[in-house]
Amino acid sequence: MKILGICSSPRVESNTNYYLNEVLDEAKAKGADTEIIKLAGKKISGCHGCYGCVEAKKCIIEDDFQEIYNKIVEADGLLLASPVYHSCITPELKSVLDRMGFSGRWAKNEMKETNKSYDWKGSVLSGKVVSPITVARRAGQNFAFAEILLWAATNDCIIVGNTYWNVGVAGKGGSVNANEDEEGIGIMRRLADNMVDVISKLNK
Ligand SMILES: Cc1cc2nc3c(=O)[nH]c(=O)nc-3n(C[C@H](O)[C@H](O)[C@H](O)COP(=O)(O)O)c2cc1C
């Protein structure tokens, strides 16, 4: 079982990474293979809307995205983690989600002819077990969280629940102090248990 965490803070040392580590440490203790990809310092353009992926069956923009695409394709579970920026996910994560969702869909499908309806054959994301994690100093969690949920819901993914939203509260004045957020850390550990359970049940 492979669980991949995408940490979309532009900061190398970040609260978002701290929470992701909490989830993945717990998942590892339950037997999962885990990995974190930090988007900090990576060159990842936004989607150009060129539709080049329809023919090429992959995104044709050459940058650090291709490596991330391949890692996501290999993963059973995907934790999409973002700091809240003005009530939204970071542009780094938005770029990955747009390009992943679009090129992942066209990798498995053909553009329909005029007057014909779609006969979707899934996506490279079909059946992946996904969960959002958002981190804010104070407000805007729900909107950012919903952005990730909506992406997963339209990309044929299976969304994992929890007894609370997977949110961390940290970062006043730019501090990296997620370790003080006892409640948030508990939420992350339970998320790991739920994700491992769901993937195990799906693979029975
Ligand atoms: C550009 C920018 C926008 C932010 N917008 C919000 C916001 O809308 N709501 C909030 O509570 N915190 C906001 N913050 C604070 C961060 O979400 C908070 O510090 C978080 O812990 C940073 O995560 P990181 O350490 O993983 O980078 C913002 C920070 C930055 C730099």
32-69, pLDDT tens digit by residue?
Answer: 999 999 999 999 999 999 999 999 999 999 999 999 99
| Domain limits for position 111 | 2-202
Domain count of the fold of the chain:
1
Terminal CA-CA length for the chain? 12
- Kindly state the percentage of the chain with pLDDT values over 70: 100
Tell how far the Cα of 69 is from the centroid of ligand 1, in angstroms: 26
Tell how far the Cα of 19 is from the centroid of ligand 1, in angstroms: 14
Mutate to test the pocket of ligand 1, among 19, 93, 137 (most ligand atoms within 8 A of CB): 137
Burial of 189 (0-12, 13-18, 19+ CB in 10 A): middle
Residues 140-188 pLDDT 10s? 999 999 999 999 999 999 999 999 999 999 999 999 999 999 999 999 9
**Ligand 1 in reach of 201 Cβ (< 6 A):** no
For 43, half-sphere exposure in the C-beta direction (CA atoms, 13 angstrom radius) is 3
CATH assignment at residue 173: 3.40.50.360
